[in-house]
Structure 1
Amino acid sequence: MTTIAFYNIILFSSTFFVWFIKRLDTRLGRWICLSIAFLLVFIPSAIRYDIGTDYLSYLRIFETGSYIKYKYTEPGFYFVNRFVDGMGLHFQWVFVILSFIFTAVVFKVYPRRNDWLLHFLFFSMLWLFSFNGIRQAIALSWCLLALFYFFDKRYVYFFILTIIGSFFHQSALIICILGGLALIPFPYFFKVRIAPIIFIIILGVAFFSANKLFVYIEWFLNFLNLEKYAAYFGSSQHFRARDFGSGLGALAKFLFSIYIILNIKLYIDENENFWFLIILVFFYSLGVVLASNIVIFGRMADTFVVGQILAFYFLWDIPKNRYINRIVICTFILFLSLLFLKISFGIPTVYADPKLNPFQTIFSKDI
């Protein structure tokens, strides 16, 4: 129970300090609060020991020098390992640096209106996830920052930042490519009337007949030159039916996404570039539906989760239907709180052991 309390205290206390920043009048006070919030999420990530499924895998990559294979595909990850190895530092410095990048890029988004909400949404969905997939988490943090530039029509920065994210995990390239495609000038009527129908039909097919979509998804991944992920379709380890969990969490995520898609007009009337946001939410919900049947599609949902995060963040300030929207957002916050609590138990499944509980540090190795 100590670890469970520890994780939840980190999430809610860091959110409190981000919220409290706007209540302070002095620059020094705001800086102190922001620093406390930063350190609360950064330090546990940096000093964890054998926490997360991939921890020992990264250790083997470092000790065997096999990080060399990432030199041209994910050079950011390669450079961090090469720097630590070349300097003769302890392996833990790899996680210190990676955790710092992950946290610092997100905090670069602050200060911003309702940044407490953005902080809670992002870290409740991705902080514990980063323990199992720090490279992809870093890529998602760069994508989060990039999307704000996209919505401000500063497209050069968007493409640069997503490409930087791909230096740590190639999944960021998918966001980059979709961002380019989202700039195709579809008519307003298509976006607010026809597209939601198409999205709902595809999601319905995925829900009732997922196998028909698998062939097209595999082809699409190969088309994007992402053979690594396309290869999962032939893997008995990854491409296996989901036989754990009740599915209620996936259903809730799906229904929240449907709410966003059905309110596409609210978003596009607020900012025409929110069309890209809806596309991301669609792919996220598609990943959630497919992952409820085949485990590996959880990776797909993870790739587009920033869409879900920002959709609810921006929904808070959309004036039309504000009362209803905020009820939905508060319900979503409650759902994420319960989901975070569940994940913090670190319950192993037949697919993998998240290795989240008990929390250990490189110093004590047990809390």
Structure 2
Amino acid sequence: MFPYLLVLSLVVFWIVLEKKSLNRTSFWLPLITLALFAGGRSYWVGTDTANYTRNFNNKLSPESFRFNEDVEYGYQLFEYSLLHMTNNYFWLLIITSLVIVYCYLKVIKRYSVNYWLSLFLFITLGVYTFSFNGLRQGIAMALFTLAIPYLLEKRLFPYLLICAIASFFHITALFIIPFYFIVNLRVKPAYKILATFFGSLFVSRLLVSYISSTNDRYEDYAKVSEESGGFLTLGFYTVLMLLIIIASYVYKIRDKSFQQLLMFYASGVVFVIPLALLGTSASGPQRIISYFTWTLVLLLPVVLKKINNIYVYIISVFIFLAYFILTTSKFSDLSPYIINPMFEVF
């Protein structure tokens, strides 16, 4: 767990230092640091990393590569192209990490009201480490973040285009398209949240059954799971949703972008609740919640800035730090962190 806490400390410290000394928002050093940490890990770190690196570890020649109709072609084409250049899985992890972190940092830098806190939350909420397990969906989620400006500006075509591109790495990106209309529909927020919940309640079982029947890789999605991690995570995000909604009313947060992001986040959480009630695996369809929960890195700093209480800041930092330690060490198979053998000196 220590390497994760060390990287977290270094990134936050540098951001604060650069802001204080140069009055500049740090971008490239956090990007390089986080990308190298993610890209420099061993394939033993993360439950699915070994599967993604198998062709590289087996020294598969490009001529022997076979496209699988059950895997998104965008990712397969990237892997196929990379195999022409190297059999070292480091390049797979470092290139994807650079793309993922860059997309998130680009949007966070543009919209965050408290950059260091947003980066702190980016790491501690598991947004950064999500791709350590689900690489393809991690890429799709990161690409989708680039659609957020178009969601807020009500520009449908670029939003659809980015969702389509992201779906070439993970099909779930297409499921986020309807939320453009949920966010921007001129209906009271409470009605939209209730409609999303009941709509999900009616279609969840059909949706999961359809996904699992059309792709062998997703057949486990329809199976009942008794994993506790998914319920704990969903409960955590639901409580945060309620607290942010209450705070937005109490502190009269009227900022339009904040309200749009809050609606996007809340509608995503209530959409996933019926999926969890089906008993599906936390590593299955419940993963779709991550398309929405990353917006907390933008929402929470706004709320804390409005509250403007140092004790609330300190308590919040400790809560999210504890959450980070718990999820990283218990539910994600990310600890201990093992470095890629090519970087081992001894």
Q: TM-score range by the shorter chain?
A: 0.7 to 0.9
- Specify the alignment match of 2:8 in structure 1: 11
Q: For 1:192-220, what per-residue CA distance to the aligned partner results, in whole angstroms no more than 9, with x for missing partners?
A: 44345567x869xx9xxxxxx4x731313
Give the superposition deviation at 1:47.
1.7
- Counterpart check, 1:39 vs 2:32: yes
Note closer, same or farther for the CA distance 1:39–1:95 as it changes in structure 2 (3 Å cut): same
Distance 1:249 1:273, change over 3 A: closer
Other-structure match for 2:138? 137
Q: Please, which runs of 5 or more residues in structure 2 have no aligned partner? A: none
Distance 2:269 2:39 in 1: 28
* 1:55 Cα deviation after fit: 1.6
Name the aligned partner's letter for residue 90 of structure 2: Q
Say which SS state the counterpart of residue 322 (structure 2) adopts: helix
The residue number in structure 1 matching 2:150 is: 149
Cα distance between partner residues in 2 of 1:103 and 1:146: 15
Q: Shift of the alpha carbon at 1:254?
A: 2.2
Q: Does 1:260 align with 2:257?
A: no
Contact 1:162 1:176 in 2 (8 A): yes
**Gap change, CA 1:69 and 1:272, over 3 Å in 2:** same
Deviation by residue 1:111-137 (Cα, 9 ceiling, x = unmatched): 334222332222322222221112111
Cα 1:13/1:343, change in 2 over 3 Å? same
Name the counterpart of 2:306: 322
Letter in 1 for 2:95: I
Q: Alignment length, in residue pairs?
A: 335
Tell me whether 266-275 or 114-123 shows the greater mean CA deviation.
266-275
What secondary structure sits across from 1:252 in the alignment?
helix
Q: Distance in 2 between matches of 1:46 and 1:297?
A: 25
1:1-367 equivalence runs, <5 A: 4-25=1-22, 30=24, 33-50=26-43, 51-61=45-55, 63=58, 68-69=67-68, 74-109=72-107, 111-112=109-110, 113-124=113-124, 125-183=126-184, 185-187=185-187, 191-196=188-193, 213=201, 216-221=203-208, 227-228=214-215, 231-235=219-223, 239-242=224-227, 244=228, 250-261=234-245, 269-271=254-256, 274-275=259-260, 277-285=262-270, 287=272, 291=276, 294=279, 296-311=281-296, 313-317=298-302, 322-323=306-307, 331-345=315-329, 347=330, 354-364=333-343
Letter in 2 for 1:25: L
Give the deviation of 1:73 after TM superposition.
5.9
**Residue pair 1:240, 1:295 contacting (<8 A) in 2 also:** yes
| CA deviations over 1:229-286 (Å, ceiling 9, x no partner) | 8733544xxx3223x5696655333211222355676899422784464244233255
Larger displacement relative to structure 2 (264-273 or 99-108) = 264-273
Tell me the SS of whatever aligns to 2:325: helix
Higher relative contact order (CA 8 A, sep 6+): 2
The one-letter code matched in structure 2 to 1:340 is: F
- How much does 1:363 deviate? 1.8
The equivalent residue for 1:210 is none
Contact between 1:284 and 1:300, CA under 8 Å: does it hold in 2? no
Return the offset for 1:221: 4.6
2: CA distance between counterparts of 1:67 and 1:308? 35
What CA deviation, in whole Å up to 9, does each residue of 1:286-341 have, x standing for no partner? 5368548835145444323343332462353369x922899777655432211111
Q: Say if 1:225 and 1:94 are closer, same or farther in 2 by CA, change over 3 A.
A: same
TM-score by length of 1: 0.74
TM-score, L = length of structure 2? 0.77
Cα–Cα, structure 1 residues 111 and 19, in superposed 2: closer, same or farther, change >3 Å? farther
User: Tell me, what secondary structure is at the counterpart of 1:360?
Assistant: coil
Residues 139, 168 of structure 1: 8 Å contact kept: yes
For the residue of structure 2 that corresponds to 1:317, the secondary structure is: helix
Distance 1:273 1:54, change over 3 A: same
Q: Give the RMSD, CA atoms, in angstroms.
A: 4.0
Contact 1:84 1:90 in 2 (8 A): no
